[in-house]
Structures are given as structure tokens and as C-alpha cells.
Amino acid sequence: MSWDALLIKAPPDVTSLSIDQLPGEFTLRLDSRSNVISLLNEIVPEIQYLDTKWARIRTDNFSIEINLSSNDPIQALMLHVYGNENSIEVIKRICQYTAWRAYDTSNDTFIDFDQNSVTGFHHWKRYKEKIIEFINSVKNWSDND
């Protein structure tokens, strides 16, 4: 189970991805596929490309799987984060370097790296722990029958 964030190019005044809050001229487009890949290589040299649609950033503490899609230009990057909150520093670095914004899909908000950047991650982590606890309780209950 991953914590997911969407990297997009959005103006600072866009506060939500709700259709009724998006400006009329808003379009999703990061850059050409080759430019996006070049940027990622510059920002995160340890990135590994699994195939044409997937990349991964892996450390001892976390892993970020990146869905590059097959579009050219690339409209957005979906990040699937596993592990601890140190991953947010990598996401922040990408956003600072590119002027892209990270949208926390679990909170339905953009990540504010200047304050409370880990809030959404912590909410997701507590949710994940509750799900795992529930699954284990059901498994234990069924094992006792």
C-alpha cells in the first residue's frame, strides 16, 4: 500500500484539483518525455528506469515508484511512495528544481513544503496501520475457528 502524490505544473493560485476550482486555461503538461527524463536524471542521479513507463528511486529508508505514462509530452507524474517520510525531501527537491507542484492524493491538497509537508504522509501512515491491524484481527479471528 503506497502513499501517492501527483507531480503537476500548476499555478500557485490553484489550491485544489477539483474541477470547479481549476482556471479555464489550466492544462496538464510537464514537458516533453525526453526533457522530463533529463530533469529527473539531473535532480535524482540514483533514479532507475524499469521500463519506458516506470522509474524508481530507492534508498535504505524508502522507495518511490514513478509512473511516467507513455504520453509525450508527459502531463503528470504519479509517485507511489513506500517507506518513511524521508521520501518527502526527494519530492521537495524535484519540485524546487522544476517548479512543479506535488498534490497529496490522500489529503486532496498540494503539499506545502514550507510548513507541515509531512502531514499527509502521517495521515496516510496511520490509515495504513489501521487497515493492517484490521486485516490481522480478521485473520486471527478466522484462524481461531
* The pLDDT value given to residue 60: 94
* pTM summary value: 0.81
Model confidence at 145, pLDDT cuts 50, 70, 90, reads low
Q: Distance of alpha carbon 111 from its chain centroid, rounded?
A: 10
Assigned fold of 3-143: TATA-Binding Protein (3.30.310)
- Phi/psi at 56 (5° precision): -145, 140
User: Sign of the CA dihedral 36, 42, 43, 44?
Assistant: positive
Q: Is 62 helix (H, G, I), strand (E, B) or coil?
A: strand
Retrieve residue 54's grid coordinates: 516506470
Q: Is 124 helix (H, G, I), strand (E, B) or coil?
A: helix
The full set of domain ranges for the chain reads 3-143
Closest CA to 4 of 63, 78, 77: 78
Q: What is the pLDDT of residues 90-136, one digit of tens each?
A: 999 999 999 999 998 888 888 888 877 677 666 767 766 777 777 77
